[in-house]
Structure formats: structure tokens, C-alpha cells
Amino acid sequence: MKKIVTTALLLTCFFAFSQQKTIDQKVDALLKRMTLEEKIGQLNQYTGDNAATGPVTINPNKQSEIKAGLIGSMLNVLGTQHTRQYQELAMQSRLKIPLLFGQDVIHGYKTTFPLPLAEAASWDLDAMELSARIAATEASASGIHWTFAPMVDISRDPRWGRVMEGAGEDTYLGSKIAYARVKGFQGKLGDLNSVMACVKHFAAYGAAVGGRDYNSVDMSERMLWETYLPPFKAALDAGAATFMNSFNDLNGIPATGNKYLQRDILKGKWNFKGFVVSDWGSIGEMINHGYVKDSKEAALAAITAGSDMDMESNAYRYNLAQLVKEKKVPIGLIDDAVKRILRKKFELGLFEDPYKYSNPEREQAALNNPEHRKAAREIAAKSIVLLKNVSPPGREKSVLPISKQTKTIAFIGPLVKERKQNMGFWSVELPEVDYDKHVISQWEGLQNKIGNTAKLLYAKGCEIEGDNIDGFAEAIAVANQADVVILSIGERRDMSGEAKSRSNLRLPGVQEELIKAIQATGKPVVVLINAGRPLIFNWTADNVPAILYTWWLGSEAGNAIADVLFGDYNPSGKLPMSFPREEGQIPIYYNHFNTGRPAKNENETNYVSAYTDLKNSPKFPFGYGLSYTTFEYSNLKLSKNKIKNTEKITVTLNVTNSGKVAGEEVVQLYLRDKVGSVVRPIIELKDFQNIKLNAGETKTIQFIIDKEKLSFYNANLQWVAELGDFDVMIGSSSADIRLRDSFELMN
């Protein structure tokens, strides 16, 4: 049996190898027939007619340039009809090289899934892979070949609006998610329902100074390698076909013109065989950076550094030929970039059938596909984080879940009846989809859930922004008639996203005032906070008995929220970012160093590393999230307390559902390397497991600690595990460590 499997494996490898060989041969043969202009055309990407996602350069000649073979790729062209129209133009070109259609399919295509940051709160890798798979299935059906996702930028700064697009602050969790998402998008590249992934933004974009978008990044090499690069490497290990560089400068060199990042690390050390696309206009923006003086120098810097495709700068289109003629750019550089792009077009099967992915029937079937909607509802429910759930004064039971026997429910707030808002930023808007029908509002979700069994009252209360409190009186009157009040408040969906940095992270407008007014009625109150980033809402957190962080949950938002409110789904989300108490704590992250003067407790401030006017700890820590049940951790055992470099430790423990309902817990394994040749974080996530437990049930869990988990980049950037003592911590969050032990790594 083993022999058969081995032979089959060898044959598969052989076929894959010979197929790659033939693709390489085809690429070489085609390259030989291409003029310099046609080669440069392949490196050129223009935006199409759909909503632009950056400052557009007006180019009236798009159609004739495609026919002349001067454009290799388009973005923002949506739907089978449009992609086909453009592809038909490409088929009129001399060599008939098909266009690649790219699109920001960030969290769903027709079916909108929760924001990537929200999904990250599920810590459910299978669910995230599935959501990417569904997005790929839908997008590929309408002619899209390539998504500009996943965004894998680690960020410790919620002022940066783009945190909504990533997986949060942690490198380990972020790497696992990056891997899952690439697998989901790409499936088996070339299959009909797959799209190429594009890992972005290479690199360190999430560390923009002050959380201001497009801003500079200055960081140590060690920080870059240890914290910011691993999710990119994980995405590459998952087979990511393409990378996108980034807008920021890194230690003084714009990422787009950064040879160290793109040639030395990505294409060199990591041996990446796909291609790199610039970010929107980022080649041209090197002029603003003050790194080059004009578009010609920008093209030279970018191609030399390893940026293969120019998104919307027109820098390659108008300068590369001249640069080659002047011998400033060796033709080998151009050929390498062209080959990388052509190879992907062959792998996708576009030369065999340039319309392969444009299929109106498949496109139609992808819309309102019940399986897709079901998956969207499930992951939306998994993404919700229960931040607080206590009993209001004078009552015995916590507010949530709301009893299905409740007679009158007041649903109040500016987001209750919104539909499109639930899609959040970076959702795809298709002309043929009526989003007023497609997205389940929170109101509709609640109606679906309770039917006629309860009376549902509504008041808007206030707008998201502005200082008008005229609606408060009606909201209070409605609240007074109800047995329980649900308040849906938060951001507008376009408040967190690209170019949406904010210095003030409070709930916008008078929304917290509305919460105070409703809380003063004495009714049991649940607050739903809809947002794309961690917000600050200290009064609410301290005074309101029940809070769900619902982010933006996509097409099925209303149903998923209702599932959680009424206990049909027991919340299991855990925060992928620390929530600050005040903006002054930012950047804030759980895995910081101890410093030479750590405070012994939160009240100590004298000559220790602390604020005199604020605690160090976040309001809600990384990894935090409650459930309607409780979990007890016990019986931690390490298979050894001393190991050698080559050995592993098996960690076992028991987790018991000590409450009354079934639930899901994310059990988190953290380590601390007590002494290092460079200082180490006080705590670092190294593994986790999602487990489902019925009430009263106990499960034994196992983690393996190996050399990889103990390693870090030393001062010489070597990946090493150093001898010495390590703490093992098992927690329900980074700040709720339930079990501890330690071991020694010996010679």
C-alpha cells in the first residue's frame, strides 16, 4: 500500500514538474516573439470603469492600447460582460496575450463576509479558509482572476483605519490566518473556482508612524523579521501567487523601490517565483517621497528593486523602453518580470481559453447561493465578541442571552435599520445587486428570529455623527415600554478603511450620550458596537451590563447578531487586537518587553514604566472574549521539564465546560523566554485550539512545544532557540492566564 502511495506521489510530482517545464518553455517561446513595447505592456496595469480605489490617472487610450498589446492587466472591471469586452480587445492584439483581471475581493464578492479583522476574532482557520474559498468561487465566476488579498499587515495601532483589513496585532495568529486565506482563495490554481491571491502590503505598512495612513515606517531589522515579515512568509508557504508592495517608506526607502525587500528577501532568500504588483500609483509616489526626481527615475528604481507590475502610475508604460535603450535597465530585468506574469497567465489556463472564468451561468448561480449565505451567517456569528455580560442591578440573571419569552423588545440606534452599512469598508459593490435586499439588516434579523412571539419597538435615537439629541426623547419613551433594550451604535462603515486614520477613537457623535440616557431608564440594556477597529467607550464598558462587539458582519449581519442575542449561537470570538483605554496608550500590544523598570501592579507609577494618569493595561486585552457558559482549566502537565534542542514537550490540560449551555472556547498557549541574548516579550502566543464542549463536558487538550516555538531572531538575525528557562502559560486570553508551568532548554 505504502509503495503504491509513494509511486502515485512521485508521478504527481513528475507531472507537476513536467507541466511547469512546458509552461516555462511556452513562456520562453512567447517572450522571443515579443517586441520591447509588448513586453513592457505586460507590466502595465490600468483601472477600469468601476469605482476607483485610488486617484485615477485619466487615460483615454485604454481600448486602443489593449488592442496594441500595451496593457497586461486591469483592475476594477466587474462582471462577465465587462471582463469579456476587455478581453475581446486583447484578443485583437498581435500576440493575443490575455488580460489579467484583478480586484479587491477582500471579504467576499457577492456574498459579503465579515471584515477580515472581524473574522480574525473567530480564531477559526477553517471558517476563514472557507470564506476566502467562497469569495474566490463567486469572483472567478464573473471573470476575476486575481484578488488583492489577503492583507497581512500586523498592526498595533487602531488609529490606522486599515486595521479592519488585516488579522490584528499578533504575528502567530496573523501568520496562521494568512496561510488559511491564501489556501482558500487559491484552492488549486487553474481550477475554475480559484483566484490568485496577492499578499499585501510588502512590507511593514501597518507600523505607519502615528497610525497615519501612507506614513513612514522606521523599525529595527529584528522587529521587521520577527513581527512584521512572518505572515508574508506564511502566505508564501501557502503558495501565494503574487505580492503587492506598499506605500510606506521603510527606514528611508519607499517599499516600492526597496531592493532589499523585494529582490533580496522575497525573490532572493524566499525564492518567490510569482510576481510583485506595485500598490496604486506607488511607483509614481516615489517622487513625492523625495526618493526620485521624476517618473523616469521612479520606473528605474521600481523595476530595479523588483516591482514587476505598475498599478496606475504609467511610469513603466512611458519610461521603461527609453531606460532600456539608454542601457540603464538591462533587458534581462524586463524579461524576468514579463516571464513571471506570463507564467501566471499560463497557469490560470488563460492562453487555452481567455474567457475561461467569464461564465454568465456560474455568475448567476453565485448570487444568493444558499450555501454561501449559510457560511456567511455562521462565520458572522463566530466573529462577534461578547465583551461583557452581567446582571443589571436588582436582577439575578445576566442580560444575555435574551429569553425567547420576552414580551417587548426595544431596538434603538442609528444602525438598527441600516443594510449596506453592515458590509463595512472594502466590500465589492456590484451594479446588478440590490444591496437593500441583499444585506440582512439588524432589524430584519431580529424580526426573523422572534416572528410574532414578541413586540419589537424601534427608535433611531440619533445619527451616527453630529450633536443632535432631538431623537433622545422618543428613544427613552420606547425604551420605557420594553422589557429589554438593544442599542445598535458605532461607526459609519467608511470610517475605518484606507485613508481613514483617526486620532479620536471614541464612539462618534452623541451615541454614548444616547447610551447614558437609555441606561438611565433602568431597563436591562445590551449594546451592539459596530466598527472596523477597536474603539474607546469607557463609560459604556463600565456601566452597561451587556456589550457585543459586532464589527461589520456582511450580508448576514442581522441574522448572525440575532443568533447570538438569543443564544442560538453561543459567542466564542476573541479579540485579535488590544482595545486601549485612551488614545494616549497607542501603540498598545500584549506582547511587549518587560523593561528595566516594570510596574509591580497597575497602581505603581513612581520611577517605573507607567503612566501617572492611566493604567498600562488595555481596556480589553488581546485574546479576550466571553461566552454564555464558563470554562475551567485544570491538570496542566508537561511531558518533560528539561529538554534538549532536538526534543519536544507535550503539554496536556483539561478544559471543562462548567456552565449550563454548550459553548466553544479558544484555548491559548503562551510562552515566555525568561532570558535572551536580546530581550524577549513577557508573553507570546505560540498556539491555540478551538474546542466545543457540551455543558459539563471535559476535554483533554494537547499542545506540542518544539524548537520552532522557542526560536526568535537574535541580534545577528539568526533564528535561534537559546538555552535557559521558559514559562508556559495557558490562558483564556493574554491577560487571563489560568495555568502555568515552566521548563528548561538544556545543552
Q: What residues from 404 to 443 belong to the interface with ligand BGC (CB under 6 A)?
A: none
- Residue 53 found at the interface with ligand BGC (CB under 6 A): yes
Q: Which is nearer to ligand BGC, 53 or 714 (CB)?
A: 53
Q: What residues from 146 to 165 belong to the interface with ligand BGC (CB under 6 A)?
A: 148
- Residue 327 identity (one-letter amino acid): K
Q: Which is nearer to ligand BGC, 133 or 200 (CB)?
A: 200
- Residue 374 CB, nearest distance to ligand BGC (Å)? 29
Answer yes or no: are the C-beta atoms of 345 and 351 closer than 8 Å.
Answer: yes
Site string for ligand BGC, 160-199 (x = CB under 6 A): ----------------------------------------
Answer yes or no: are the C-beta atoms of 615 and 719 closer than 8 Å.
Answer: no
Q: Which is nearer to ligand BGC, 350 or 428 (CB)?
A: 428
Answer yes or no: are the C-beta atoms of 445 and 415 closer than 8 Å.
Answer: no
- Residue 38 found at the interface with ligand BGC (CB under 6 A): no
CA distance 552 to 546: 19
| C-alpha cell, 711 | 526560536
Q: Which is nearer to ligand BGC, 99 or 459 (CB)?
A: 99
Q: Which is nearer to ligand BGC, 244 or 560 (CB)?
A: 244
Strand residues in 347-490 grouped as ranges (E): 385-389, 408-412, 455-459, 484-490
- Residue 593 CB, nearest distance to ligand BGC (Å)? 31
Answer yes or no: are the C-beta atoms of 227 and 178 closer than 8 Å.
Answer: no
Q: Is the dihedral of CA 139, 235, 347, 192 positive or negative?
A: negative
- Asked if 725 is an active-site residue, the reply is no
- Residue 215 found at the interface with ligand BGC (CB under 6 A): no
Choose which of 104, 124, 297, 684 interacts with ligand BGC (CB under 6 A).
Answer: 104
- Residue 247 CB, nearest distance to ligand BGC (Å)? 6
- Residue 54 found at the interface with ligand BGC (CB under 6 A): yes
- Residue 55 CB, nearest distance to ligand BGC (Å)? 9
Choose which of 202, 280, 551, 631 interacts with ligand BGC (CB under 6 A).
Answer: 280
Continuous H helices in 268-359: 285-289, 295-305, 315-325, 331-347
Q: What residues from 288 to 327 belong to the interface with ligand BGC (CB under 6 A)?
A: none
Cβ-proximal residue to ligand BGC, closest one: 53
- Residue 285 found at the interface with ligand BGC (CB under 6 A): no
Residues 6+ apart with CB under 8 A from 166: 116, 117, 120, 151, 152, 153, 154, 155, 174, 206
Site string for ligand BGC, 105-144 (x = CB under 6 A): ----------------------------------------
- Residue 172 CB, nearest distance to ligand BGC (Å)? 24
| C-alpha cell, 389 | 455580560
Continuous H helices in 162-259: 171-186, 221-223, 230-237, 259
Answer yes or no: are the C-beta atoms of 430 and 110 closer than 8 Å.
Answer: yes
Q: Which is nearer to ligand BGC, 226 or 498 (CB)?
A: 498
CA distance 692 to 120: 18
Active-site pick, 157, 213, 279, 310: 279
- Residue 132 CB, nearest distance to ligand BGC (Å)? 16
Q: Which is nearer to ligand BGC, 48 or 623 (CB)?
A: 48
Residues 6+ apart with CB under 8 A from 503: 159, 583
Q: Which is nearer to ligand BGC, 174 or 445 (CB)?
A: 174
Q: What residues from 455 to 514 belong to the interface with ligand BGC (CB under 6 A)?
A: 498
- Residue 165 CB, nearest distance to ligand BGC (Å)? 8
Among residues 477, 438, 680, the alpha carbon closest in space to that of 559 is found at 438
- Residue 54 CB, nearest distance to ligand BGC (Å)? 4
Continuous H helices in 34-96: 36-42, 62-67, 80-90
- Residue 200 found at the interface with ligand BGC (CB under 6 A): yes
CA distance 89 to 69: 9
Q: Which is nearer to ligand BGC, 214 or 443 (CB)?
A: 214
Question: In angstroms, how far is CA 284 from the centroid of its own chain?
Answer: 27
The strand pair at 684-693 and 663-673 is best described as: antiparallel
- Residue 118 CB, nearest distance to ligand BGC (Å)? 18
Among residues 295, 328, 166, 320, the alpha carbon closest in space to that of 232 is found at 166
Q: Which is nearer to ligand BGC, 54 or 567 (CB)?
A: 54
Among residues 370, 375, 387, 384, the alpha carbon closest in space to that of 561 is found at 384
- Residue 243 found at the interface with ligand BGC (CB under 6 A): no
| C-alpha cell, 261 | 525587500
- Residue 144 CB, nearest distance to ligand BGC (Å)? 13
With cell 524548537, the residue in question is: 707
User: In sequence order, what are the beta bridge partners of 217?
Assistant: 250
State how far the alpha carbon of 59 is from the alpha carbons of 232, 314, 563, in Å: 33, 9, 49
- Residue 496 CB, nearest distance to ligand BGC (Å)? 14
DSSP class of residue 341?
Answer: H
Q: Which is nearer to ligand BGC, 108 or 625 (CB)?
A: 108
Q: Which is nearer to ligand BGC, 278 or 585 (CB)?
A: 278
Answer yes or no: are the C-beta atoms of 129 and 379 closer than 8 Å.
Answer: no
- Residue 106 CB, nearest distance to ligand BGC (Å)? 8
CA distance 22 to 361: 32
Answer yes or no: are the C-beta atoms of 673 and 724 closer than 8 Å.
Answer: yes
Q: What residues from 60 to 89 belong to the interface with ligand BGC (CB under 6 A)?
A: 75
State how far the alpha carbon of 75 is from the alpha carbons of 52, 56, 218, in Å: 9, 12, 31
Query: Contacts with ligand BGC: how many residues (CB under 6 A)?
Result: 9
With cell 443589571, the residue in question is: 392
With cell 475581493, the residue in question is: 105
Catalytic residue list: 279
Residues of this chain that bind ligand BGC (CB under 6 A) = 53-54, 75, 104, 148, 200, 279-280, 498
